[in-house]
Chain A
Amino acid sequence: MLDSFASFLQNTGVAALFQDGAIDAVKIIIMLAVACVLLYLAIVKGFEPLLLLPIAFGMLLTNLPMIKDSSAIMMHTEFFTDPEFMIDGKYIDVGHICRHGGLLDLLYLGVKLGIYPPLIFLGIGCMTDFGPLIANPKSILLGAAAQFGVFFTFVGALVISALVPSIAWGVKEAASIGIIGGADGPTAIYVTKTLAPSLLPAIAVAAYSYMALIPIIQPPFMKLFTTKKARGVVMEQLRPVSKTEKIIFPIVVTIVVALVIPDAVSLVGCLMLGNLLKESGVCDRLAKTAQNELMNIITIFLGVTVGATATAEAFLTPATLGIVALGLIAFIFSTIGGLLLGNLMYVLTKGKVNPLIGSAGVSAVPMAARVSQMVGQKENPSNFLLMHAMGPNVAGVIGSAVAAGVFLSMFTGL
């Protein structure tokens, strides 16, 4: 009887907390606290709750104290990162994961094999209206200019690697950090799981947190990089777009992107498939499923498993602080890139383009467009920029996917 009770005590979480010493116990407690802070931000402050809440709870689950080799462990990050558990030290051993993995290990295969982000894009495609972009073709270039922060941060990450001896970021890590500037969670996850899986939790948390903070991050720079007169510009009404154009658009985009940058097709292709399901009008049932049930299921799987990779060893490092700082820089410079091209368009069109729509080129849809509307309306209460800003906003989704494709094609084989 006493033996069983002693065995029970040895298997409790409290015993597990101190099994590797006091320092590891403190790390676990810090990680649980970080998870609770993120839960607070998601629930109370409403920061991207649909993703931040699952991410935070995944973080909580993976950091719960467990006795080593316990069958209750839901996530074994070593299966995906430790060469000892991999085939030829390089490829993940799916058979081993199926035999010995927990629930989150199995679900994480969807991230690791690159399944979830394209499926999220499928749902986003169903919810996106490319009409404003088709009506105002030049606004697509603002979606390209807003990728400036991605590449600027890529350089910044390499510079930090050169200056700080304890941080060893190569081009793969720098690319994964830079893509935060695309302001697109699934794209950031897709690039990072391929190029720098060990940075995945920090990058996902940074990307989604900053996306939620866009209404706070962008306005000061929008005012700094535009004149009062330019902010008050009322743009002329967009032309009506026919159904035929909306149907042909996703097909053409997929073909063009595939011809130039095939690595971006899994993301852009799924985005456009979703959009075609919606615009064709003959697949309503599929479109509804893709944008509701399927997307919600994938969002839960993606959030929880990405959060579950945030173990103390992976998260409590100086690199995480660097990623958080660089992520903010990436967002700021992406905003500035869009605004600068917006200003150029303002000058070239002799004041017909409001440069505020440039900041919407970061792809956080529709938040960035709403911020353009909000700042524009403060300057001129009768101004409605929302539809004009939606053009660069959806172009930003395509732009960040293409930027991701550029990084993947350059660095995947290294």
Chain B
Amino acid sequence: MNVSESLRTGIGVTLSEAFGFGGMTTVVGLAIVFGVLLVLMIVLYLFKIIFYKSPDQVKKDVVAENASASEDEEELVAVLTAAAAACMNTSPKKVRINTYKRVHTDPPVWNRAARRETTENKI
């Protein structure tokens, strides 16, 4: 921007100079400030797209997880039915698994002994 001697020193500034140059600086200055912050706003919207998962999206993920969990459960029931039928020397169609319960992977010795005894008695 060309600045006249009067605007540089402040001596002999006219009203037209004050409004003309001041107005131009205002337009340019505000345009730059808005431009920089507009760019930052776009960057922040990109942040939202890249990093943010809306609650709806999170819900969908949870539903999908639950669906896959129920598929796993069906497989487990099928395996248990087949295993029980094999132990009982009968057809899997005659065995129905009503409920199952995951037991501790490393139960105490007395607990394992009791469970074995019960199972053997039943067989």
Of B22-30, B60-68, B73-81, B110-118, the stretch lying at the interface with chain A is B22-30
Distance (Å) between the CB of A414 and the closest chain B CB? 5
Contact check, B37 vs A239: say whether CB atoms are below 8 A apart.
no
Q: Within residues 13 to 55 of chain B, which ones have a CB less than 8 A from any CB in chain A?
A: 13-15, 17-19, 21-23, 25-26, 28-30, 32-41, 43-45, 47-48, 51-52, 54
Question: Given known contacts A256-B40, A407-B29, is B22 in contact with A155 (CB within 8 Å)?
Answer: yes
Residues of B within 8 A of A239 (CB): 48, 52, 54
Q: Which residues of B contact A407 (CB under 8 A)?
A: 29
Q: Is the CB of A158 within 8 A of B7?
A: yes
- If the complex has contacts A134-B44, A158-B7, A242-B52, are A398 and B37 also in contact, measured as CB distance less than 8 A? yes
The answer, among B7, B28, B30, for a CB contact under 8 Å with A148, is B30
The answer to whether A151 and B41 touch across the interface, beta carbons within 8 angstroms, is no
> What's the count of A-B pairs with C-beta under 8 Å?
136
Question: For residue A147, which residue of chain B has the nearest CB?
Answer: B33
Distance in angstroms from B16 CB to nearest chain A CB is: 9
Contacts of A174 in B (CB 8 A): 22
A14 close to B (CB within 8 Å): no
Which of these, B1, B11, B37, B48, contacts A140 with CB under 8 Å?
B37
B8 on the interface (CB 8 Å rule)?
Answer: yes
Q: Is B69 an interface residue (CB 8 A)?
A: no
B108 at the binding interface (Cβ < 8 Å): no
Docked complex Cα distance between A411 and B9 (Å): 12
A171→B3 contact, CB < 8 A: yes
Most central of B3, B15, B22, B26 by chain A CB within 10 Å: B22
**Alpha-carbon gap, A406 to B34, bound state (A):** 12
Chain A residues with CB under 8 A of B23: 155
In the complex, chain B residues whose CB is within 8 Å of the CB of A256: 36, 39-40, 43
Inter-subunit contact A395/B18 (CB<8 Å): no
Known: A158-B13, A158-B22, A414-B3. A170 touches B52 (CB 8 A): no
Determine whether B10 belongs to the interface, using a CB cutoff of 8 Å to chain A. yes
Which residues of chain A have C-beta atoms less than 8 A from B40's C-beta?
Answer: 137, 140, 252-253, 256, 398
Residues of chain A at interface, number, CB under 8 A: 51
Q: Which A residues lie within 8 Å of B38 (CB)?
A: 141, 144
Asked if A242 contacts B51 (CB within 8 A), the reply is: yes
Give, as a whole number of angstroms, the nearest-CB distance from A320 to chain B.
15
> Is the Cβ of B17 less than 8 Å from the Cβ of A395?
no
Residue from B21, B41, B47, B51 within 8 A of A141 (CB atoms)? B41
B32–A406 contact, CB under 8 A?
Answer: yes
Q: How far is the CA of A351 from the CA of B41 in the complex (A)?
A: 21
Selected from A140, A141, A159, A245, the residue in CB contact (under 8 A) with B22 is A159
Bound complex: CA of A249 vs CA of B43, how far in Å? 9
Hey, which bits of chain A sit against chain B, CB under 8 A? 133-134, 137-138, 140-141, 143-145, 147-148, 150-152, 154-155, 158-159, 161-163, 167-174, 239, 242, 244-245, 248-249, 252-253, 256-257, 260-261, 395, 398-399, 402-403, 406-407, 410-411, 414
Residue among B7, B8, B19 having the largest count of chain A Cβ atoms under 10 Å: B7
The complex places the Cα of A260 from the Cα of B43 at a distance, in Å, of: 15
Contacts known (A155-B18, A155-B23); A170 close to B32, Cβ less than 8 A: no
Q: Cα distance A244–B51 when bound, in Å?
A: 8
Is A162 a contact of B13 with CB atoms below 8 Å? yes
Whether the pair B35, A158 counts as a contact (CB closer than 8 A) is no
- Report A-chain residues with C-beta under 8 Å of the C-beta of B35: 260
Chain B residue numbers with a CB within 8 Å of A244 are 51
Task: Kindly report which residue of chain B lies nearest to residue A137, judged by CB atoms.
Answer: B44
Contact yes or no, B7 A151, CB < 8 A: no
For B45, list chain A residues within 8 Å (CB). 137
In the assembled complex, the Cα of A159 lies from the Cα of B11 at a distance in Å of: 12
Say how far B3's CB is from chain A's closest CB, in angstroms: 6
- Whether A170 contacts B9 by the Cβ 8 Å rule is yes
Residue in A closest to B14 when the chains form the complex, CB atoms: A162
Partner of B33, one of A155, A167, A169, A406: A406
Distance from A242 Cβ to chain B, minimum over Cβ atoms (Å): 5
**Minimum CB–CB distance for A334 against chain B, Å:** 12
Contacts A239-B52, A245-B47 given; indicate if A402 touches B37 (C-beta within 8 A): yes
Q: Determine the distance from Cα of A411 to Cα of B45 in the docked complex, in whole angstroms.
A: 34
State A137–B1 Cα separation when bound (angstroms). Answer: 32
Q: Say which residue of B17, B30, B51 sits within 8 Å of A151 (CB atoms).
A: B30
- Contacts A/B (CB < 8 Å), 28 sampled: A134-B44, A138-B41, A141-B37, A141-B38, A147-B29, A147-B30, A147-B33, A151-B26, A154-B26, A158-B13, A158-B17, A158-B19, A158-B22, A159-B19, A162-B13, A162-B15, A170-B8, A171-B3, A171-B21, A252-B43, A261-B32, A395-B37, A398-B37, A399-B33, A402-B33, A406-B32, A406-B33, A410-B1
Known: A134-B47, A174-B22. 4 other contacts (CB 8 A): A141-B38, A163-B15, A172-B8, A406-B32
